[in-house]
Structure 1
């Protein structure tokens, strides 16, 4: 019987109705009790009781520390978490806990567990099964899909199919045949270097994520830099194009890079990649020193930037590397 740890952090899955709306109130033990009998030996620890909108870098560090502390005592760890920022947490944990020796699976729900037609019980059961079955790594389990944590994005606000694995297939799907793994993921796991896990939780939160739109004033980028911003991810157009007529974003990007502020160019398009080499509007930004995010999600790009700055790494080299499956080089 696999030994699994449930770390409860709050979120919709643990919420109850109050005068001010849904508020996380249920303990991890209460969540577990509603699942009935499971074929695992489960321990529960409540480490937070927060709506995920209030999960911030301080909470990321706490969750990472708890996972690192208990990782060798269990065969797998499940983290119950609110859905709104779960993709950010999953991405950051992927970088903080590289080479983790066990599967760590985040999950939550769109409806509280105590509601009759909730999706919570199914998602929790899926997370426990993933924690007992998957290769080591950081995952997000939701609506019969198991996804690599650093590739997930929340794409729906109310539908039960709230998360998607972007630019790579889900690690596994649940069908009538059981848990069916993607063969390419199995191959990826076999090629991973087997290194010791270290907790690397130092990050730099003085960063910004900016969505470019027609009429965006580049002066705002200078204002961010003057206010202490030390790195920026820009969701640019299409393959990574940026304005250079009248409102010259390209020049502003170059000026910031000369000041030692790395600028990452990603795409506003959810799927496929950014490629600064294809169009003039991208090549000019590339010549100024902009770094392409390739096919990373915005959640993964901004957390990787925060983590890289906190670790004192060369950001250009970092974004040219695939650390945990977050990017296709």
Structure 2
């Protein structure tokens, strides 16, 4: 028998931590120190659980890089004491937070699992209990005395995903998330099946590092038929702008009109990075496959490949914050750093 795993549960806010006051019907945050009373099943898990909460839990719509740093610091401060971390988070921006943490944590050798729920923990048909119990169970898994999962993940409705590969796809179903360009890392059924071949393998010789400089001087533009020059040049000429993600059509296609090419060319010449990400949920940017993307390739636009918009945003903030060399920026962005792209 190995030593029981020590798991730190970090509550940031979100539906999962709410409890219904049955007299008024209103939702309020419950005291996480009383977690075992609320979910007695947790006592059956082969691990010790400690909890820590944001002083003022937030709605995940208010999530921002400042809060990402808070979460990262809680994990950094407790990294040597605990074997795994479970972050309870509102589902709306969970994919963004998961992607951001994956870049902020370099040489991570322990599990960081984000989870939440569509219904509050006290609801009769809640999905909160299963999500929480299985997340803790996965975070506590060990092989030869070492954590089995060693990356930032997202667990929801019987599936464990690489967090920086996920997107929230549904606001009402329990299956709220999907990872369309990368297989799930685990499935929870009668047995817990870990898909080992898809897990990131840590380099245990390298020291765990936390990067806390994030630069949010970026913009995201979704192309649509009829987008006009005034709107686009307004965004591309934002003061202080350092990078733009252009959500293109299909396999990375965009208008070939002169004004569009001119705006992109002028932006790249100014040293502002332009990243091509497909607005399709699944699939990849294949710049140069069609004529409608060859011009972007020639203009020096960065190929986002099969990255999600959420991960592209987080990766840009991380690379800009780390003051990545301008000449190497395109190459670094197009290289997988945490398994976020092929």
Measured against the shorter chain, the TM-score band is over 0.9
1:242-257 matched pairs, under 5 angstroms: 242-245=254-257, 248-257=259-268
Give the counterpart of 1:303 among 311, 314, 320. Answer: 314
SS at match of 1:227: coil
Is 2:95–2:163's contact at 8 Å kept on the other side of the alignment? yes
SS at match of 1:139: strand
Shift of 1:206: 1.1
Shift of 1:23: 5.5
What TM-score results when the alignment is normalised by the length of structure 2?
0.90
1:17-36 matched pairs, under 5 angstroms: 25-36=29-40
Name 2:277's counterpart in structure 1.
266
Partners of 1:17 and 1:181 in 2: CA distance: 34
Shift of 1:228: 2.6
Partners of 2:49 and 2:204 in 1: CA distance: 30
Pairwise CA RMSD: 2.0
Is 1:27–1:46's contact at 8 Å kept on the other side of the alignment? no
Task: Please say if 1:61 is aligned against 2:61.
Answer: no
Give the counterpart of 1:40 among 39, 43, 47. Answer: 47
**Matched pairs, number:** 324
Change (3 A) 1:149 1:215: same
Name 2:292's counterpart in structure 1.
281
Shift of 1:17: 5.3
Name 1:107's counterpart in structure 2.
115
Is 1:11–1:24's contact at 8 Å kept on the other side of the alignment? no
Task: Please say if 1:161 is aligned against 2:172.
Answer: no
Shift of 1:219: 3.1
Change (3 A) 1:269 1:194: farther
Task: Please say if 1:229 is aligned against 2:229.
Answer: no
Name 2:184's counterpart in structure 1.
170
Structure 2 unaligned residues grouped into runs of 5+? 142-147
Change (3 A) 1:9 1:226: closer
Is 2:20–2:122's contact at 8 Å kept on the other side of the alignment? no
Shift of 1:169: 0.5
SS at match of 2:272: coil
Task: Please say if 1:208 is aligned against 2:219.
Answer: yes
Deviations 1:179-203 (A, max 9, x none): 21224214x527x575211111101
Name 2:155's counterpart in structure 1.
141
Give the counterpart of 1:3 among 1, 6, 16. Answer: 6
Partners of 1:24 and 1:58 in 2: CA distance: 24
Change (3 A) 1:114 1:144: same
Shift of 1:22: 6.5
Name 2:144's counterpart in structure 1.
none
Q: Identify the range of structure 1 (109-118 vs 134-143) with the bigger mean alpha-carbon deviation.
A: 134-143
What TM-score results when the alignment is normalised by the length of structure 1?
0.93
Is 1:140–1:147's contact at 8 Å kept on the other side of the alignment? yes
Change (3 A) 1:21 1:324: farther
SS at match of 1:209: strand
SS at match of 2:300: coil
Deviations 1:134-185 (A, max 9, x none): 4211111111111111111110001000011221111011122x22122421
